Amino acid sequence: MDTRLVMNAFESRLKSLKTLAGAHQTFDTDTVPATPHALFEQWFDAAVEAGVSEPQVMTLSTVDADGSPDARSVVLLNMDTKGWHFAANATSPKGRQLTQRPEAAMTFYWPATAQQIRLRGKVRRLSDEACRADFMGRPERSRASILIGRQSEVLNSQDDLRHALHEQLARVTAQPELMSPHWGMYALTPHQVEFWQSDAERRFTRLRYVRVGTGAETGADVSWERSLLWP
């Protein structure tokens, strides 16, 4: 089979698909809130109202010890003045990467509203109490899976996974207060947040918030400068 013909066929299939074809929203950048937190919540609520599937799922991008980028989907668990919260096992690749280099990027994309939100900033582990509260609030099977603690290692067979999960479920049942020592809640405190709105005529609107001031960890004495960007 001619590989070039196959590639051309696949390329044609890609080009036949609609892109950025969601319900384009009105984005009046003259009336946006003073903080990206408030605008994020507005956009998030609109995404839920529009029926976006799992709007809380985002792409978390980190950098490994060699400087190579890495990315995966994770769940947004909260947002406050500390930042955008997510959970991770400290022994997982992302956990180790964040220990070595506590910086990350987050990307949300909601096709139904044709909107994207990008964040960049420092990441820090939250208090032991926050980590425990998140872990203990999870279903038993989720806690058991976390306690296995071998994320991203080579799995020889599905039987090995079933056996390990069965063992940890038994531990969780016998010890309801059992806590993983490696489980962590993290918050990305952004220094930059960009809101991107698609447009049917390709006049995309990009609004960037840049943090100025001090007190990033507490949210005190922080203000945001806003600017429009070329598409």
- What CATH number corresponds to the domain at position 212? 2.30.110.10
Question: Which SS3 state, helix, strand or coil, does residue 192 take?
Answer: strand
CA distances from 14 to 1, 8, 19 (A): 20, 10, 10
Total structural domains within the chain: 1
The verdict on residue 13 lying in a domain is no
Residue range 51-75: mean pLDDT, rounded: 97
For residues 213 and 162, the model is more confident at: 162
CA distances from 30 to 36, 171, 228 (A): 14, 56, 10
| Whether 210 contacts 192, CB under 8 Å | yes
Sign of CA dihedral 81, 84, 87, 89: negative
DSSP 113: G
The verdict on residue 157 lying in a domain is no
- Identify the domain containing residue 123 by its residue range: 19-136+183-229
Question: Which SS3 state, helix, strand or coil, does residue 84 take?
Answer: strand
The verdict on residue 40 lying in a domain is yes
| Whether 124 contacts 189, CB under 8 Å | yes
> Which of 3-7, 124-128, 162-166 is predicted with the least confidence, judged by mean pLDDT?
3-7
* Closest CA relative to residue 211, chosen from 121, 138, 110: 121
Q: What's the pTM value of the predicted model, to 2 decimals?
A: 0.89
User: What pLDDT sits at residue 202?
Assistant: 83
The verdict on residue 142 lying in a domain is no
The verdict on residue 108 lying in a domain is yes
